Structure 1
Amino acid sequence: MIAAVRTWTAEQTLRELDTEDGVLRYHEAGDADAPPLLMLHGSGPGVTGWRNFGENLPVFAEHFRCLVLELPGFGVSDPTDQHPMVAALPSVGRFLDGLGLDRVDVVGNSMGGVVATRLAIAEPDRVRRMVTVGGIGQAIFSPSPGEGLNLLMEFTESPSRERLVQWLHSMVHDRSLVTEEMVEQRWTQATEPSTLAAARRMYSRAALEGMGRAAARSPEPPYWAMLHRVRARTLLTWGRDDRVSPLDMALVPMRTIPDAELHVLPRCGHWAMIEQKAAWEAVVLAFLTRAD
């Protein structure tokens, strides 16, 4: 007889951690004594950690203590006055310190993958293994910003349901995954005033142009130029049909992260953990549980 796989609701797994910079909310599933697996969501209208990874928890919680952090600026954890990307890495540090975790495996989708990579560069002893889902690296052949990011900027500057649907369609290969329920959930959260204000600090055209100018003046190299400092074994997972972070972005991290491997999923857009759920879970679980 095959044992039933346990499932959870968002309400059952939701936890809170008080920190000096506000409350961080997260979802926890799995045995408290199992190896910790930190899961970091991406960005975009109405995103949450639960919406990115909630459906993957039954598989990973069989092996890990899964911790899905809700990053500040996306409407679940306490809001932040900072740019959400600037606030993300310190919030991860406060979260791990608050839970007393010295070393974790990390899975990061898109922006979450960038945050995971920056953590692995800044604190190499803190990350054992890292899995990214699109998003990291630098476009080599594709135009930048790409289609998905342009649609995200259009929605952020002038939100409408039509623009939200257009952006959601750019996230997937199979448009049937974009349901009316998804649109409604995303619309409600994305247009909440503090969440929309945070999104405009991040994804308005003026904000992105300002970030580009600031990066050009900065004495520090961009994170993707420091990927050789990543010591964690790394699995790059990518949708072959990703229109947000095109596949050629994988070339830089694949070549410069010392211990990196790449798995490309066909008929798959930016949300590999959702659109090719079973295949993605099998590849990631095999990587994370492989003997050292």
Structure 2
Amino acid sequence: MPQLEVDGAALTYDDEGPRDGDGVPLVFVHGWTANRHRWDHQMTHFAERRRVIRLDLRGHGESSGAGVRTVAELAGDVIALLDHLKVDRAVLVGHSMGGMIAQTITLDHPDRVERLVLVNSIGRMAYSRGRGLLMAASTLVPYKLFVATNIQRAFAPGHPRDEIRAYGKSSADTPREVVMTLYGAMRAFDVLDRVGEIRVPTLMIHGYHDIQLPVQQMLRMAKDYPDAVVRIIDAGHELPVEKPAALTTALDRFVTPARG
């Protein structure tokens, strides 16, 4: 389990697959309170024929560190990892907050990104009344209850409860300081007026039942992308674990070079 020291954090990452495989590496970036194992299905599938990289963002999963105040600082961690691994150009795949990080990298380092995939992600935060009330109450309820409630809302109706509880427990292991600080970072994130600058082919995959970041918010962003493909899947906000095979298939179609 390799780690990279970056500005006081030890970032845990996986780097798998053939170096001479199909296309540039795929780089997977998870979302808020999650960890790199959200991408297990995709890693297993793609590592058979191309290089795939994923990391635990600082303060998440098996990475240490805290104190990051902006999405741009998290993007800097990803760039530091790519520099360390000597990856000059990649396909970035980001879920939720990870998609915000991926957009930031694409805007700030367009030469490093060949294609962009946004999974349940948006360019500007706009919370529903229910989500706003939940976040406002976050200081008044036990931390684990707060996280569990957020995770419950993230899944589409009917998802197995034992899986939701397992993901809730995993998310609650993320330190409260990290969770609440990055909530503020996401609220401050806003690239909606700049997405027209993103010139790389982009795939936007969104769960139809997402109430955390509703599909209408994604569509508002998609209309301004010069080169975007939109896919809507019957899932909630946690698409990588709700419908992993459907996500993998959509990714494969988008990133795999056509064969003659």
Identity across the alignment (%):
24
CA contact (8 A) 2:11 2:63 kept: yes
Counterpart selection for 1:23 from 10, 17, 40: 10
> In the alignment, what sits opposite 1:70?
56
CA contact (8 A) 1:146 1:244 kept: no
Per-residue CA deviations over 1:61-107 (Å, capped at 9, x if unaligned) read 12321111211132532303221524201111111111111100110
> In the alignment, what sits opposite 2:179?
199
Does structure 1 residue 175 correspond to structure 2 residue 159? yes
**Secondary structure of 2:223's aligned partner:** helix
Q: How does 1:139-178 map to 2 (within 5 A)?
A: 144-145=127-128, 147-148=130-131, 150-151=133-134, 154-155=137-138, 158-173=141-156, 174-176=158-160, 178=163
Q: How far off its partner does 1:179 sit?
A: 4.3
Counterpart selection for 1:32 from 3, 16, 19: 19
CA distance in 1, matches of 2:164, 2:240: 17
CA distance in 2, matches of 1:150, 1:236: 28
CA distance in 2, matches of 1:257, 1:31: 32
**Secondary structure of 2:114's aligned partner:** strand
Q: Give TM-score scaled by structure 1 length.
A: 0.78
Q: In terms of Rg, which structure is larger?
A: 1
Amino acid across the alignment from 2:74: A
**Secondary structure of 1:78's aligned partner:** coil
CA contact (8 A) 1:235 1:262 kept: yes
> In the alignment, what sits opposite 2:252?
285
Q: How far off its partner does 1:23 sit?
A: 2.4
CA distance in 1, matches of 2:185, 2:115: 31
Amino acid across the alignment from 1:229: E
CA contact (8 A) 1:107 1:116 kept: yes
Higher alpha-carbon deviation: 150-159 or 88-97: 150-159
> In the alignment, what sits opposite 1:11?
none
CA distance in 2, matches of 1:157, 1:98: 42
Does structure 1 residue 121 correspond to structure 2 residue 107? yes
Does structure 1 residue 256 correspond to structure 2 residue 241? no
The runs of 5 or more residues in structure 1 that have no matched partner are 1-13, 216-221
CA distance in 1, matches of 2:146, 2:179: 15
Q: How far off its partner does 1:145 sit?
A: 4.1
